[in-house]
């Protein structure tokens, strides 16, 4: 259904506690519910030490997803919120830590509920107070930190992290951010980058999130705020933390580039892409190998051993609650967690592991920024209504065919910088990541094993980034036809070099996106496609069709359509076309997603639109009869989606984008014409 570029990367979220499947789980849930109530009662104690203990205990427990719903049912947000302004700074910090972990581990629904329960009111007051103190006292790292009086930066760091999580999940939180002028707080925290890089990184994460697609924020970006961002971009500290900070600042600057003076925009764009290039240039495999060897060349200290045991036994959090808990503070930013990975919420037990984690975060962020650079905007609802076809439209039957290629959406300055700083080459290198040696080192040590998932995510981001780069760069900027053929072989190797096809849904989505985009470019240049034979094509597409990820299923259907369209122009391909056609019909009949069904029907129209081999295959597989049985059901579903979002929810697909609705409407029209066209051919 045409070219598609990917542009959003929300952090995967924990889901709240699911259905109980055993008597043991039901009993455990009941005990947790009771214990949650006891802890929340302790929050009301007149003794600040007891309040702090309760906050710290909740902070630890909500990292276990089975516990979250019990606390929510007990109104934990309304209990913790006022403690953000507690007279005791220790209580403030631990309360902020508990809310931070709840927002990070609870997911979008929990964050939305936190906003509904008005957590933004005390959080805003706390942040504004922190900003005032930072202004009044300047660099606070020179002040002595008492055992019961954390720095204002420590509390600000926790509060900024909560703000980031909430704004990423809730448009209401974003509106409050804009209205209350919380940009000033983030900028003030970012100013501390020279002496408190951890606080600056939290602020930079929040700024990158809040500045995306937020036109209301732009007028607040006065020159002094832009100057702080510029200072960060131009900083020269050569360590992993500052590299991550510069990368995040680059993402924010890209988001708000429209407010940069025209005379400075070219230099700004150049600086942003240079920073991304420098981040990706790091040889992560070698660095992690070196860090791992250095970390484990020294005897483990007791704290490290205890930390590894805690990570191994993380599932025992509930039983720890029943047996009595120790007060535990949390540190580190939770981002891009995969499934039940809460490793980022646990303190890193060595500087080497911390550096490795930060390096991976920086490279993932850089790739995501490049993905967003190369994406196109979806049409608005009004544009969709204007563009949407009707049954009386006279558009060509095959309009929107999969091999069409849209012109680049990037400015000449951006395209030039991407090429000058070798972004395509560096992205391609990350698609091979990680190598087996790096994985082996991480597998040896429990505390390092969570890095493997992060490394694999970087590979997926690189593949998605490659998909978008293929959509916007000219053939010569990609290295010419020879380079495209080499890339085709490289992608095939990623899929088929292992003993069995990878089943990870995130990888399948990313690699099929890259293959789809590559095949579109090869087809648009009438180049031969030599890397995937018919057997490999079927193996990949059948695996993708079974994937739970809707985008992966859309991709494999599109891949089939692109290859089929090319084969229809060749001789003696009827049998392969029948195989492709039957696959697409099966998807159109069985897939639960209307988007996937529409893509399959669109691919059928493309493949069998013209050519003797296509006509022969269509006749043998009785294509017209099969499509006529599908047509009324598909048409009805499309009409329902256009009429009400309730039907969309019943389909289980969530809200469709205007672009998806437009394409589905066009497929409905084209399908009617295609059937009429095929019937006319039979009558000749």
pLDDT tens across 571-586, in order? 999 999 999 999 999 9
For the stretch 115-128, pLDDT in tens is 999 999 999 999 99
- pLDDT of 524 reads 87
* Cα–Cα separations (whole angstroms), residue 235 to 192, 202, 228, 355, 625: 12, 17, 11, 18, 66
Distance in angstroms (rounded) separating the CA atoms of residues 157 and 427: 32
Distance in angstroms (rounded) separating the CA atoms of residues 484 and 474: 11
Q: In terms of Cα–Cα distance, which of 570, 532, 551 is closest to 653?
A: 551
The position carrying tokens 């030490």 is 49
- What DSSP assignment string belongs to 589-641? HH-S-HHHHHHHHHHHHHHTSS-HHHHHHHHHTTHHHHHHHHHHHHHHHHHHH
The position carrying tokens 């704004």 is 167
pLDDT at 657 over 90: no
- What's the mean pLDDT in 440-449? 90
Q: In terms of Cα–Cα distance, which of 659, 655, 661, 3 is closest to 378?
A: 659
Q: In terms of Cα–Cα distance, which of 307, 246, 320, 314 is closest to 281?
A: 246
Q: Say if pTM beats, i.e. exceeds, 0.75.
A: yes
pLDDT at 660 over 90: no
Neighbours of 178 (CB within 10 A): 19
Residue 597 near residue 667, CB atoms below 8 Å: no
Considering all CA atoms of the chain, what is the largest pairwise distance in Å, rounded to the nearest integer? 92
For the stretch 72-131, pLDDT in tens is 988 999 999 999 999 999 999 999 999 999 999 998 999 999 999 999 999 999 999 998
For the stretch 386-438, pLDDT in tens is 444 444 444 443 333 333 444 456 888 999 999 999 999 999 999 987 888 89
Distance in angstroms (rounded) separating the CA atoms of residues 197 and 546: 45
Residue 150 near residue 86, CB atoms below 8 Å: no
Distance in angstroms (rounded) separating the CA atoms of residues 591 and 595: 9
Residue 421 near residue 273, CB atoms below 8 Å: yes
Alpha helices in 45-145 (DSSP H): 48-61, 65-73, 76-80, 89-106, 108-116, 120-137
Q: How many residues are listed for the chain in this entry? A: 684
For the stretch 27-52, pLDDT in tens is 444 455 567 888 999 999 999 999 99
Query: What are 556's two structure tokens?
Result: 């494999």
Q: With bands split at pLDDT 50, 70 and 90, how would you rate the model's confidence at 541?
A: very high
**Listed range (196-200, 482-486, 500-504, 549-553) with the worst mean pLDDT:** 500-504
DSSP type of residue 1: -
Q: Does the bond joining 434 to the residue before it have cis omega, within 30 degrees of 0?
A: yes
Both ends of the chain: CA-CA distance in Å?
Answer: 30
For the stretch 662-683, pLDDT in tens is 888 889 899 999 999 888 877 7
């Amino acid at each position: 259904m045409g070219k598609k570029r990917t542009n959003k990367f929300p952090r995967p979220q924990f889901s709240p506690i699911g259905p109980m499947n055993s008597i043991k789980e039901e009993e455990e849930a009941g005990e947790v519910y009771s214990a949650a109530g006891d802890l929340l009662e302790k929050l009301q104690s007149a003794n600040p030490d007891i309040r702090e203990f309760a906050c710290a205990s909740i902070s630890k427990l909500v990292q276990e997803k089975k516990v979250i719903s019990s606390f929510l049912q007990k109104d934990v947000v309304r209990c913790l919120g006022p403690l953000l302004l507690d007279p005791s700074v220790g209580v403030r910090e631990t309360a902020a830590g508990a809310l931070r972990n709840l927002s990070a581990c609870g997911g979008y629904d929990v964050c939305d509920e936190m906003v509904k329960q008005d957590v933004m009111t005390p959080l805003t007051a706390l942040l504004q107070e922190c900003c005032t103190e930072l202004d009044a006292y300047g660099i606070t790292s020179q002040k002595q930190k008492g055992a019961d009086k954390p720095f204002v930066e420590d509390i600000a760091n926790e509060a900024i992290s909560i703000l980031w999580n909430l704004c990423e999940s809730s448009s209401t939180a974003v509106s409050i951010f804009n209205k209350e002028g919380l940009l000033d707080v983030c900028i003030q925290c970012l100013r501390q980058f020279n002496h408190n890089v951890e606080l600056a990184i939290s602020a930079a994460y929040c700024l990158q999130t809040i500045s995306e697609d937020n036109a209301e924020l732009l007028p607040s970006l006065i020159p002094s705020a832009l100057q702080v961002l510029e200072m960060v971009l131009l900083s020269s500290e050569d360590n992993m933390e500052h590299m991550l900070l510069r990368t995040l600042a680059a993402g924010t600057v890209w988001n708000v580039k429209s407010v940069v003076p025209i005379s400075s925009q070219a230099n700004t764009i150049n600086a942003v892409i240079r920073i991304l290039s420098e981040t990706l240039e790091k040889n992560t495999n070698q660095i992690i190998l070196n860090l791992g060897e250095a970390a484990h060349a020294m005897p483990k200290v007791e704290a490290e051993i205890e930390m590894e045991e805690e990570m191994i036994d993380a599932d025992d959090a509930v039983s720890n609650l029943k047996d009595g808990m120790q007060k535990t503070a949390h540190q580190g930013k939770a981002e891009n967690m995969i499934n039940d990975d809460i490793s980022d919420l646990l303190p890193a037990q060595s500087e080497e592991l911390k550096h490795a984690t930060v390096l991976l975060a920086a490279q993932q962020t850089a790739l995501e920024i490049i993905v967003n650079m190369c994406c196109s905007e979806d049409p608005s609802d009004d544009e969709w209504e204007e563009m949407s076809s009707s049954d009386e439209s006279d558009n060509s039957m095959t309009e929107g065919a999969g091999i069409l290629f849209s012109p680049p959406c990037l400015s000449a300055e951006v395209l030039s910088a991407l090429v000058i700083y070798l972004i395509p080459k560096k992205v391609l290198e990350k698609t091979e990541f990680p190598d087996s040696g790096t994985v082996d080192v991480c597998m040896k040590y429990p505390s390092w094993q969570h890095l493997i998932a992060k490394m694999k995510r970087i590979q997926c981001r690189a593949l998605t980034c490659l998909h978008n780069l293929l959509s916007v760069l000219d053939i010569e900027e990609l290295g010419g036809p020879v380079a495209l053929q080499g890339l085709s072989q490289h992608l095939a190797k990623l899929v088929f070099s292992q003993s069995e096809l990878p089943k990870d849904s995130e990888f399948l989505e990313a690699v099929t996106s890259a293959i789809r985009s590559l095949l579109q470019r090869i087809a648009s240049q009438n180049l031969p496609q030599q890397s995937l034979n018919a057997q490999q094509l079927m193996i990949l597409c059948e695996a993708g069709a079974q994937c739970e990820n809707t985008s992966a299923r859309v991709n494999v259907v599109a891949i089939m359509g692109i290859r089929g369209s090319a084969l229809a122009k060749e001789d003696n391909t009827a049998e392969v076309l029948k195989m492709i056609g039957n696959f697409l019909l099966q998807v159109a009949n069985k897939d639960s997603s209307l988007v996937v069904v529409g893509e399959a029907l669109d691919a059928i129209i493309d493949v069998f639109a013209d050519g003797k081999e296509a006509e022969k295959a269509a006749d043998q597989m009785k294509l017209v009869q099969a499509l006529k049985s599908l047509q009324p059901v598909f048409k009805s579903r499309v009409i329902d989606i256009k009429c009400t979002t309730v039907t969309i929810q019943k389909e289980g697909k969530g809200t469709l984008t205007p672009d998806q609705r437009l394409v589905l409407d066009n497929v409905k029209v084209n399908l009617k014409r295609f059937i009429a066209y095929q019937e006319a051919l039979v009558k000749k």
